[in-house]
Amino acid sequence: MATILNLNQNRAVDVNGIAAPGALAYFYRSGTNTAKIVYSDPACTTPHPTPLAADGAGVFPPIYTLGDGDIRVRITTAAGAVLAGYPIDPVQLVSTDNVGAAGVSFRPTEAVPEKTVQKAIERVQANILAPLADFGLGVTGNATLLSNIDNIEIASGVYRYNGDSYGTFPTGLVPDAGGLIQFWRVSANAALMTLSAVGSRRQHVRVLAGGEWGAWAWLMQSSDTATDAIWAAGTSETPAVLSPKSLKAAKGADDRVWSVVTADRARNINYQNATGRTIQVIIQMGVNVSGDILCGASSTTMATICSVGDWDGWPVTFDVPPGHYYRITSTAAPVRWSEFR
């Protein structure tokens, strides 16, 4: 970036353009008669005397200011007569930083109380990020620690928990490793909370309703699977994602076994399928024996599903749904009674 060399000196001259040896410069805050301190070095550590005297050629030494407001300047002769054109309010300020926005003045505001465009840009960026930090969404650092995760008097936002946090955590979750909590409020007594433990993708969720927290639940993910053997066994109560392969394994699983129950069964007596699943029954009668097979959801409303005049030793097969009743009415006891259960 190119810059311009300024060869002019800070010289005091009279109305005829003639240098004013020993001229005196007085500095004030703009619009006032309140003295303003100016400095002899760029770091603004050594104040100039007041008034500041020019040399024998009317030249003033370098003059620096903190840049914290406009300045009014009044210059007089060594005898105290005000030079033509003075006072000047405000006097032009030139930044010692000759590159970029840091050298451009900015009028401070309540929200952005800065004096240069560069500082104003930085303050605006900070102002943008500040509200995000209030919600635990800062660009760097940690979210706000939530000591009591059951606290309902907190603002919506993202929080963190650690081993010192207490409250009702999801079953089996140990808080020592820490994690994130998202709290989104609907009203004073209604909100949604999600919890994510460090190192885990599982999302635990609970709802605040009527000022009371409900039980924790968790969102199913593709990784929440079970083996085909578990699906086939059908005894696990842990929820799991079902794949087509697992579904086929579950549908094809059948651990029922055949049992001969002839000694435990008799004609004209109601029996109930209490296994919780469908069973298959095979009954074989003797030659020239007649009878009926009855089934029903109630022992008092059973229907005849099979009626045989002379069985001639042929077996009869039928299924009994879970909880249903079944019986055989016949002229003689069964020769063989088997059940697949």
**Residue-level pLDDT at 101:** 62
Give Cα separations from 89 to 32, 36, 144 (angstroms). Answer: 10, 13, 50
**Lowest-pLDDT range of 52-56, 193-197, 236-240:** 236-240
Give Cα separations from 43 to 66, 68, 127 (angstroms). Answer: 9, 14, 28
pLDDT, tens digit, 9 for 90 and up, residues 177-218: 899 999 999 888 899 999 999 988 889 999 999 989 999 998
Residue 9: is its pLDDT beyond 60?
yes
Give Cα 170 to chain centroid, integer Å: 17
- Across 80-94, b (16+ Cβ under 10 Å) vs e yields eeebeebeeeebeee
| pLDDT classification of 130: cutoffs 50, 70, 90 | low
Pick the CATH number of 258-340 from 3.30.1360, 2.60.120, 1.10.3470, 1.10.10: 2.60.120
Domain extents in the chain: 1-94, 144-218, 221-253, 258-340
Residue 1: is its pLDDT beyond 50?
no
pLDDT, tens digit, 9 for 90 and up, residues 241-258: 777 777 777 776 777 899
**Residue-level pLDDT at 231:** 74
pLDDT, tens digit, 9 for 90 and up, residues 264-280: 999 999 999 998 889 99
**Lowest-pLDDT range of 80-89, 269-278, 305-314, 328-337:** 305-314
Tell me the range of 148-162, 220-234, 311-325 where mean pLDDT is highest: 148-162
Dihedral (CA of 22, 28, 31, 34) sign: negative
> Whole-number mean pLDDT of the chain?
85
**Residue-level pLDDT at 64:** 92
What does CATH list as the number for 1-94? 2.170.14.10
Q: What is the token pair recorded at 154?
A: 């907190």
